[in-house]
Structure 1
């Protein structure tokens, strides 16, 4: 499938990049100071919008959201660089808040809908599936959109990047848990064409990363 010029390469202070799918429009923006990615998902049929990670720079995010409002915000995990703008965005939009149920107590804005593995999050007529991944934090969630017109798309937070899984801070058990979870819940069930939108940096695909899984396990990070 053509990606309409979308590259997923964005920079803090730069122009957002827009990935146009048949039923969903994904706008990727980088915000500082830690170059976090934030993603605004817009249902084409209803114009309802969802934000993945109100990471920072509330004014920047609200500009991307625009005048059509925001129905919901999903926080992928409890690390502070992923929710610095959450209070301001929620106050400005009245959006519902979602986060993995095992990370909610680490997020200082109330979570309206705690997520468990397999739960559905909707944006208009589009359905996303939450996958609970343990290791980077206890309650990290990835969001999978299985595009009926093409291949899946997955928003991985800090659980999967080009070149490896997220930081497990030298904890072998946490690393094993995260790699096992990413393998079982993403690589084992989704095709190579699956597009990966991480919490920082460039996008990738599962196919680009799949050959390196044994190497990651051997190196231990």
Structure 2
């Protein structure tokens, strides 16, 4: 199986490659349109800032390629947010795969909630084969200041200040706000499920 991890100068990519390696998958890190198009699976990870990431995607014409891919595709953290239509982070238009807005956490009481949301939190209302074998007691690891709104595409929720889309699914596109590569056995199971879709 050929797995392409999209290179777009975002952080945290190496840990995703290591996580795949632990599963026996030797993925290729690339921004080559042809390599990505021919891959059996595509993973779109990252940490960083939305407008900078979108600028790189446009320079490499990845903004045109990604929404038209047909193989199983997995956006992670910033990768999930960039698959949405708009982010409040620097008022940025994104890829538009999911007709969903990305908003900034605004705590009602700063003493109760800190932003960014960092640490372990559980998933609830799990749906689709991507989450096979997991339960509402499954915890994953988050690091983010922006969140994807709930929608018809939400396949798992998480609550921090409010309910938000922990995971989303539309056609061949899957997306997750937390970091599977930092989420222990739960994250490993999600990656395995994705690779076997």
- Is TM-score (shorter-chain normalized) higher than 0.5? no
Higher relative contact order (CA 8 A, sep 6+): 2
Q: Given the two structures, how large is their TM-score scaled by the length of structure 2?
A: 0.34
Q: Given the two structures, how large is their TM-score scaled by the length of structure 1?
A: 0.32
